[in-house]
């Protein structure tokens, strides 16, 4: 659905996006993560046919960037960093304007549908300027969805939303995924990315890494099992002589064991610990959060200025 090859954008001497190679499948929720100034917005602007790449190219929804720009804009929806609403116009007029620009078949009906979906129908005639931050964000998301785009670019969709509204947006993303819509999600909310995205890309001018969050964690940190013991046992790490154990760290009464295949190896690990006299309270998997992984990778890719 989105394929880029060597996509590059320079602003004078500054390179904002450097040789980006991406492939996003239809129906995929793809997280695009990176710090402020990493070039995420520039990337989205290029992919939404708003600005031209300096080098490289891309195919969006089967259309070539640069030759079918208008058709690309017809097929994608963009939620920008700020809601960008006409404050003096009512919520309904805001949406109607965009629905008509996209030549939506029945604009009135479509606007009603989305205003109701986001619980804004009762205040449809109020100026958008009188809306709360959360309501404005919901209205902006409704605007991006009005023309039922094949690809949706969402820049921080839950920023400024209360937990209930944020859940509405996340549920909506799940619904869109089930309808085979492709979602390109730029976010700083790494927990959200972890929960929603099929794959994530860590990006800072260049692509740092890309993959499923779980697979990235495994590749970077391996899989680790935490065994909580009722009481500590001296020298247990030396006694645990199982061939599949890669590394053992002991922290108080916890053993952190690196394994290759925990599902297969955990039973033997627990059995051996019991044989050694350990009183196992419970066994969990140590999950490195996406946030920790993000911070480690960004630190590793930090270029001193």
Partner 1 sequence: MSRLRILLIKEWRESLRNKMVLFGVVLLPVILVATSVYMITVGEGADDAVGQIVLFNTSLMYFLMLPAIIPLAIAVYSIVGEKEQTTLEPLLATPISDTELFLGKALASVIPALIVNWISFGVFLGAIRILVGSVPLQTLTAPWLASIFGLSPLLALFSVGVTMIVSSRASDARAAYQFSSFAILPGIIPLIIYSSSKTLVDLRLVVLEGGILIVACAVIMFFAVKLFRREQILTRWK
- Binding residues for partner 1 (CB under 8 A): 11, 45, 48, 50-52, 70-71, 73-74, 76-78, 80, 82-89, 93, 97-98, 100-103, 127, 140, 143-144
Are the C-beta atoms of residues 96 and 131 closer than 8 Å to each other?
no
Q: Which is nearer to partner 1, 38 or 142 (CB)?
A: 142
- Cα 220 from Cα 209, distance rounded (Å): 10
Smallest gap, in angstroms, from Cβ of residue 201 to partner 1? Answer: 22
The Cα–Cα gap between 54 and 51 comes to 9
Q: Please say which residue, 70 or 179, places its beta carbon nearer to partner 1.
A: 70
Residue closer to partner 1 by CB (options 54, 266) is 54
Residue whose CB is less far from partner 1, 26 or 100: 100
CB-wise, 136 or 217, nearer to partner 1?
136
Q: How far is the CB of 190 from partner 1 (least distance, A)?
A: 25
Least Å distance, CB 161 to partner 1, is: 18
Rounded to a whole number of angstroms, the minimum distance from the CB of residue 296 to partner 1 is 33
Closest CB 128 distance from partner 1, rounded Å? 9
């Amino acid at each position: 659905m989105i394929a880029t090859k060597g996509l590059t954008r320079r602003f004078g001497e500054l390179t904002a996006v450097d040789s980006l190679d991406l492939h996003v499948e239809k129906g995929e929720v793809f997280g695009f993560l990176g710090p402020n100034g990493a070039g995420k917005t520039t990337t989205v602007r290029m992919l939404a046919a708003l600005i031209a790449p300096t080098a490289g190219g891309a195919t969006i929804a089967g259309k070539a960037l640069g030759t079918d720009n208008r058709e690309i804009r017809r097929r994608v929806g963009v939620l920008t960093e700020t809601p960008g609403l006409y404050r003096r116009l009512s919520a309904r007029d805001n949406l109607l304007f965009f629905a008509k620009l996209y030549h939506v078949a029945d604009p009135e009906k479509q606007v009603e549908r989305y205003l109701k979906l986001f619980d804004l129908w009762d205040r449809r005639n109020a100026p958008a300027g009188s809306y709360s931050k959360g309501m404005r964000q919901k209205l902006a998301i409704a605007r991006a969805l009005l023309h039922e785009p094949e690809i949706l670019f969402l820049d921080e969709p839950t920023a400024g939303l209360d937990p209930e509204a944020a859940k509405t947006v996340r549920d909506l993303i799940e619904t869109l995924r089930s309808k085979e819509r492709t979602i390109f999600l730029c976010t700083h909310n790494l927990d959200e990315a972890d929960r929603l995205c099929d794959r994530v890309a860590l990006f800072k001018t260049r692509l740092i890494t890309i993959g499923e969050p779980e697979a990235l964690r495994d590749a970077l940190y391996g899989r680790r099992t935490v065994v909580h013991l009722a009481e500590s046992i001296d020298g247990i790490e030396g006694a645990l002589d199982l061939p599949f154990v890669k590394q053992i760290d002991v922290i108080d009464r916890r053993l952190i064991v690196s394994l290759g295949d925990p599902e297969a190896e955990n039973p033997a690990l627990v059995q051996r610990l019991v044989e050694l006299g350990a009183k196992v309270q419970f066994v969990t998997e140590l999950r490195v959060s996406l946030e920790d992984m993000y911070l480690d990778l960004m630190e590793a890719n930090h270029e001193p200025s």
